[in-house]
Structure 1
Amino acid sequence: MAVRVHAVDDGFVVDGEWEGCAAANAFLKHLAGRAFSAATVRAYAFDVLNLARFLIDRDLGFTAVTPVTVFEWIDWQGVRRDPRPGAAPRRGRQRAAAASTINRRVAAVRALFEYLVMTGVRADNPVPSPRRGQGLRPSARGLLGHLGPGRPRTGGRLVRQPRLLPESLDADAVDGFVSSLRTHRDRAMVWAMLLGGLRSAEVRSLRLADVDFGRRRLRVLGKGSKERVVPVDAVFFTELSAYLRLERPPGLVTPECFVVLRGPTVGAPVTEAGLRSLFRRHRELSGAGRVRPHRLRHTYGTELASAGIDLMVLRELMGHVSPETTA
């Protein structure tokens, strides 16, 4: 039986013929008990799953993981040399992971072993901690010295990670993609990302009660259960109104705004897999291959920054915790 992640009533579990399943599931339950969001717990589960598949592939035991094993796991994933998203793998090689993806997986596995140390299962954490700075970070940063020293770094990175500018989309790509959409629901979801800067998860979890048609605002529950109020252009509310009037099943009690319109799960909230499938299908139909949910959000932020909006205001609209992320 292959090792995999699947959803259960109280979260996610790693299941299969792997000796680390019990420890991994105890860790995931620990995260859920600390009120981590379901999406975060799911991400941790898949990061641990990647380690499990490596250990199975190399016939290595979970309890025998050492720092050398961790670096072998990093090599096994393969670091993408071209930092651009979507870069094609070289002939004869499997698609390599981005440096940011590998660092995220390493951080998740480091947290797993830290939990095992805390609970007395292991005596040490085998995931190495990289060298840190010497405490010489400037007290003020930014062009005008308007940013503080930032949050202290924790965990660190074992793979050098290039700092790339956010990728925005040109008007032709957006127009081509939107013109291929066939329902008011789909257009409303895309406009929420492009004209409101919502993350894909925020669009899927948006509730009818969070929509203020009068003021043309949305109340958004973002990362870390942080709420923000976002004004959105009228074109979004036009499509949303048409969707609610013409497409959403009448009498539906589902609190989420966007639901499945056909098939056996009609009336259920749009899922992450469903949204990915929607974007993949319409990228093929429109030929706008660069359109992704998060690039729509990046385009929103880039356009506002180009228009000269204050950095602190943009930070609030984007739902960023740190100004450094926005800058």
Structure 2
Amino acid sequence: MNERIDAFLAYLQGERSLSPNTISAYRNDLLQFADYLRAEAERQGGTDFALSVIDRDQITAYFLHLRDRGYSGASIARKTAALRSFFQYLRRMGEVASDPTQGIGSPEVKKPLPRTVEDDHVRALMTFLESRDTLEGLRDHAMLRLLSATGMRVGELVMVDLDDVDFGNRRVRVVGRGNRERQLPLDEATLSSIRTYLERARPFLTRNVPAETAVVVNQRGQRLTRQGFWLIMKGLVHEAGLPAIMTPHMLRHSFATHQIGEGLGLEELRQLLGHASIATTQIYTQLAGQSPEENGRLLLSSS
């Protein structure tokens, strides 16, 4: 089965242009299912199950197994979606006669509201960052200002190159999920922070790798990774004496909620956030305390 999983993941990456994080989630979910089937086959005296004999009962038994192990409804729903996509792919390729996931519903998941950061905490973090007049301090201030001022994802921020920052038009080019490109406006304070970092800190950080094109780099002058960003932010939040639970995505949620509170239309906010569907964006109206009637006006203001 693992070979077919690899082929499916290659299809997702090549044909559907899904993000590396999404591909990784699919891989983990599908390999977990393959391991479960292998263990069940060994328990019955075999070595594995052929794809052609996997049926709905085995799929259902797997989900019951996950539930008994304490997996949340959200996790099981995600794994259900991964298996459904996998078997639909196999059926299109003619490798299975029918889709064993057909008719199996996902568990009902009540989506929690996104968590935001209090404005006072954001200001306190920025004040702390401004006090660190070091190479890393200038970088950290620039990248966190860029994140909180635009609402971009961490995965998008670390992929921003030098040519993507347009100081003249006060914009930054971002390539998001599905290779969708968008131009995000930058305020003067954020531009100033980026400019200071590029002039005073980045040249020294990249002294051994002058060909590096990334805006945000690590201590070795190489493009900062998502994991690296998370570790840096976690340390900064701790040093600043702020609540431990303050993540990059919470800054994105805070940006979106603030924009709604300022009266920005949902379609404009959808474009800024890079959402494929406006339904994803609508959840921020709840965070901003908008009534259904106000929500409707926001939609109308976007049309």
TM-score, normalised via structure 1 length: 0.71
Three-state SS of the structure 2 residue aligned to 1:205 is coil
Three-state SS of the structure 2 residue aligned to 1:269 is coil
Quick one: structure 1 residues 238 and 106, their matched pair in 2 at CA, closer, same or farther if it must change by over 3 Å? same
Q: Which residue of structure 2 lines up, in the alignment, with residue 245 of structure 1?
A: 199
Q: In the alignment, is residue 73 of structure 1 matched against residue 62 of structure 2? A: yes
Give the whole-Å Cα distance in 1 for the aligned partners of 2:222 and 2:61: 42
Q: Which residue of structure 2 lines up, in the alignment, with residue 11 of structure 1?
A: none
For residue 195 of structure 1, report the CA deviation from its aligned partner. Answer: 1.0
> For residue 67 of structure 1, what is the amino acid of its counterpart?
R
Give the whole-Å Cα distance in 2 for the aligned partners of 1:287 and 1:71: 45
> For residue 25 of structure 2, what is the amino acid of its counterpart?
A
For residue 209 of structure 1, report the CA deviation from its aligned partner. Answer: 0.8
Residue 196 of structure 1 contacts residue 230 of structure 1 at CA under 8 Å; is this kept in 2? yes
Query: Which is richer in helix?
Result: 2
Aligned pair count reads: 263
Q: What is the 5 A alignment of 1:132-143?
A: none
Residue 177 of structure 1 contacts residue 288 of structure 1 at CA under 8 Å; is this kept in 2? no
Q: Which residue of structure 1 lines up, in the alignment, with residue 222 of structure 2?
A: 268
Question: Identical aligned pairs, as a percentage?
Answer: 28
Q: Which residue of structure 2 lines up, in the alignment, with residue 281 of structure 1?
A: 235
For residue 277 of structure 1, report the CA deviation from its aligned partner. Answer: 2.4
Residue 38 of structure 2 contacts residue 49 of structure 2 at CA under 8 Å; is this kept in 1? no
Which fold has the larger relative contact order, with Cα–Cα distance below 8 Å and residues 6 or more apart in sequence?
2
Q: Which residue of structure 1 lines up, in the alignment, with residue 248 of structure 2?
A: 293
Give the whole-Å Cα distance in 2 for the aligned partners of 1:59 and 1:221: 44
Q: Which residues of structure 2 form unaligned runs of 5+?
A: 43-47, 283-303
Residue 19 of structure 2 contacts residue 178 of structure 2 at CA under 8 Å; is this kept in 1? no
Residue 197 of structure 1 contacts residue 318 of structure 1 at CA under 8 Å; is this kept in 2? yes
For residue 21 of structure 1, report the CA deviation from its aligned partner. Answer: 1.3
Q: Which residue of structure 2 lines up, in the alignment, with residue 169 of structure 1?
A: 117
Quick one: structure 1 residues 55 and 325, their matched pair in 2 at CA, closer, same or farther if it must change by over 3 Å? same
Residue 211 of structure 1 contacts residue 218 of structure 1 at CA under 8 Å; is this kept in 2? yes
Moved more, 238-247 or 35-44: 35-44
Give the whole-Å Cα distance in 2 for the aligned partners of 1:321 and 1:199: 14
Q: Deviations over 1:175-222 (max 9, x none)?
A: 454436852222222222211010111101111111011222111111
Give the whole-Å Cα distance in 2 for the aligned partners of 1:278 and 1:76: 38
Q: Which residue of structure 2 lines up, in the alignment, with residue 229 of structure 1?
A: 183
The structure 2 residue matched to 1:103, chosen from 41, 61, 77, is 77
Residue 174 of structure 1 contacts residue 291 of structure 1 at CA under 8 Å; is this kept in 2? no
